Copies of this chain bind each other. A is one copy, B any other.
Amino acid sequence: MTELPRSIDAIDTPAAVVDVDRMHANLQRAAEYCRAHGLAWRPHAKTHKTPALAAAQVRAGAVGVTVATPREAEAMATAVDDLLLAYPPIGRPKLQRLMALPEHVRLTVGLDSAEALAGLAEAARAAGRRVGVLVEVDAGMGRVGVQSSDDALALVRAAAETDGVEYRGIMFYPGHVRMRVEAQDAGIRALSERVGRTLEALHAAGVAPGVVSGGSTPTFWRSHEIEGLTEVRPGTNIFNDRTTAEIGACAWDECAYSVLATVVSTSVPGQVVVDAGAKALSKEEIRADVTGYGALLDRPDVIVKSVSEEHGIIDLSGTDWRPRIGERVRIVPNHVCVSVNLHERLYGVRGEEVVDAWEIAGRGR
């Protein structure tokens, strides 16, 4: 890490900036919710990919963290000793890297196929390592996960009977329930019923799961309504983002992450161009009725209406504010996880002061 800039004004743009007080408040709020409802909190490190922030999550009460890739696992293992890889590791290189994690790391892996189970068990036996397994169940998203209670039972039995791995439970990801929080009733109910049927089948067969891991940022505050849930894995809500605020799962002033950018052109009337585009914010859309790729932290009604690779175009049609060339703005992106992934470091700020900086060590392969 190069020397810390003293003030936010001394950071060159575009740059990824974290309001540390908001971030810690977000962690406290999540931890308290989980404590109040008896849920284990295992935040997903994909959002920050930063070991020091995973350590902050554990200090705030997390039981460990979730990761999606071997690189994230390796980086987080430097700071946290309980990891869930919520992604099936397919192929020898990934399995070898997992088995090479420090011995003190308690490793659990989520998977949804006999092939993934067999590969993991073989690698675990060869390494003489104890590895836990969660069987991933499709709770309605239609992305991954076994499709029926029968399939869940079959894979759970296989996990329970396979040498080298330890059956620890089931997991699911409710990525399809991402509408506004107050409109989630039917989604949460369907989710609860679907998970409930699987739990019944597993109980009846004598292979009840110790861990039932689910949750996400959009559904986070309703996790306690999902019957049988023991663990939640929200990623985004350490920082929050424009999507999270838009669906009502956070307040705007709970957005802790922004991209610092500089106005570089004011030539075209009704807009200004900043030096943060698709390679700093990303070009992910929210929905057809929520346009743009980000909004200003201090002026949430002012949006980045379009992006090219290194250009963000800020729409001034609804504001009297007229920034000049060289002026700086802070932009809350639509999706924080993919924005963080575009940066090499995070600057921690308190007001105008830069109080910390972290290499985003879990990026890449």
Contacts and interface: CB of A to CB of B under 8 A. Distances in A.
Contacts of A242: none
Nearest to A97: B12
Given A14-B365, A15-B365, A278-B338, A87 B264 contact: yes
Given A93-B12, A338-B283, A267 B309 contact: no
Interface in A58-90: 68-69, 87-88, 90
B46 A309 contact: yes
Interface in A316-357: 324-326, 337-338, 341-344
A322 B14 CA distance: 43
A116 interface: yes
B46 A267 contact: no
Contact-residue size bin, chain A (C-beta under 8 Å from the other chain): 35 or more
Nearest to A146: B267
B90 A279 contact: no
A138 B268 contact: yes
Nearest to A327: B90
24 contacts: A12-B94, A12-B365, A13-B91, A14-B365, A46-B310, A87-B264, A90-B264, A112-B265, A112-B267, A113-B265, A115-B325, A115-B326, A116-B264, A116-B265, A138-B268, A142-B268, A143-B313, A144-B264, A144-B311, A145-B268, A147-B267, A147-B268, A279-B338, A283-B283
